[in-house]
Chains A and B, each alone.
Chain A
């Protein structure tokens, strides 16, 4: 980065900064190392897969008999983004996209934000339900009876959560 720190500004402050001590920082490296470790952990969390979100969108879309093009059009999101959501387990959509999809698919927005990785899931049971749901659903053209049941149960669960 290039900085514009003018000579005039420095001249203006030269007198009061004539003989000052400016050292700052913890006295050892432990805090820096801990911070670096925390940054690494948060990066890992940000890159963790969000399988339940893509599965849920996929099943809800199909249960409403919508093609990907139709859902993209109704929700006013890019088709390419919808493809990423349904097929890339690590894809994290923007909150706006989640909001648009929740409206068209009648799903609670806040829960969708959590499932999509935009908000932290603090409820262990919710996280477990999402994982279980993702594991039960398979990607086929028509929803199987098992998929129907999984979807119904999970949507009911989402709607009951506050």
Chain B
């Protein structure tokens, strides 16, 4: 069962807000369709980068993410939820969160429960590192707001954590106001770990 809420994205071509749907509990069919659409768009974008001679180290790091596998791994566990933003009958962003088994690292919040964002990404056509002019803005803000609201509903007071890819660090630090705990030594790629306190969560939602 999935729930749907009305939200709005900014269409960057018209500079207007357009209606979209936030889906809590994205179905297998929706994941399949999104993965197919996204894979095609990524392949086209990567072909352009290859032709332009951009080294592979500079290609979008999440271009290989397989959302079908993520769904398969987590579908049988209630602790995981996949949320998506749909607009114009296409998935514009996806997020996989866990509501159990992750705990705060910020000293003042140490070991309190949090919602951990295992994966979040926009469709390739909304990503400024994949295309020069992304189509829709606000996809990420809606998904992170949803993670915080779920954290509040779970009585975690908005506490949220995630490992940011390098290109997104400034957004989580500056736009979301999350605490930057630096490169995580336990992560093979030493991704930077970010966490949101209840106060930061409230401020983000203001």
Verify if A1 is at the interface (C-beta below 8 Å from B). Answer: yes
Residues B168 and A22 in contact, CB atoms below 8 Å apart = yes
Residues A26 and B118 in contact, CB atoms below 8 Å apart = yes
With most chain B CB atoms within 10 A of its CB, the pick from A4, A9, A16 is: A9
* Complexed CA–CA distance, A26 and B118 (Å): 7
Residues A24 and B101 in contact, CB atoms below 8 Å apart = no
The residue of chain A having its C-beta at the shortest distance from the C-beta of B133 within the complex is A19
Residues of chain A in range 111-142 having any CB-CB distance to chain B below 8 Å: none
Residues of chain A lying within 8 A (CB to CB) of residue B69: 29
Residues A23 and B121 in contact, CB atoms below 8 Å apart = yes
Residues of chain B in range 130-164 having any CB-CB distance to chain A below 8 Å: 134, 137-146, 149-150, 153, 162-164
The residue of chain A having its C-beta at the shortest distance from the C-beta of B121 within the complex is A23
The residue of chain A having its C-beta at the shortest distance from the C-beta of B19 within the complex is A7
Verify if B62 is at the interface (C-beta below 8 Å from A). Answer: yes
Least Cβ distance of A36 to chain B in Å?
6
* Complexed CA–CA distance, A103 and B96 (Å): 46
Interface size class of A (residues with CB under 8 A): 20 to 34
Residues of chain B lying within 8 A (CB to CB) of residue A16: 175
Residues B145 and A3 in contact, CB atoms below 8 Å apart = yes
Residues of chain B lying within 8 A (CB to CB) of residue A32: 70, 73-74, 96, 118-119
* Given A13-B138, A13-B141, CB of A21 within 8 Å of CB of B171: yes
Q: A10-B138, A26-B118 are in contact. List 5 more A-B contacts (CB 8 A).
A: A10-B8, A13-B141, A24-B165, A26-B187, A31-B118
Residues B163 and A1 in contact, CB atoms below 8 Å apart = no
Residues A24 and B61 in contact, CB atoms below 8 Å apart = no
Residues of chain B lying within 8 A (CB to CB) of residue A11: 8, 17
Residues of chain B lying within 8 A (CB to CB) of residue A7: 8, 17
Residues B101 and A38 in contact, CB atoms below 8 Å apart = yes
* Complexed CA–CA distance, A3 and B142 (Å): 10
* Complexed CA–CA distance, A9 and B191 (Å): 30
Residues B137 and A22 in contact, CB atoms below 8 Å apart = no
Residues A2 and B139 in contact, CB atoms below 8 Å apart = no
Least Cβ distance of B107 to chain A in Å?
22
7 contacts between A and B (CB under 8 A): A10-B141, A10-B142, A17-B10, A17-B171, A18-B12, A20-B137, A36-B74
* Complexed CA–CA distance, A28 and B171 (Å): 22
Residues of chain B lying within 8 A (CB to CB) of residue A31: 118, 187
Residues B17 and A24 in contact, CB atoms below 8 Å apart = no
Tell which of A13, A18, A21, A35 touches B101, judged by Cβ atoms closer than 8 Å: A35
Residues A25 and B138 in contact, CB atoms below 8 Å apart = no
Residues of chain B in range 28-82 having any CB-CB distance to chain A below 8 Å: 60-62, 65, 69-70, 73-74, 77, 79-80
* Complexed CA–CA distance, A1 and B74 (Å): 18
The residue of chain A having its C-beta at the shortest distance from the C-beta of B72 within the complex is A29
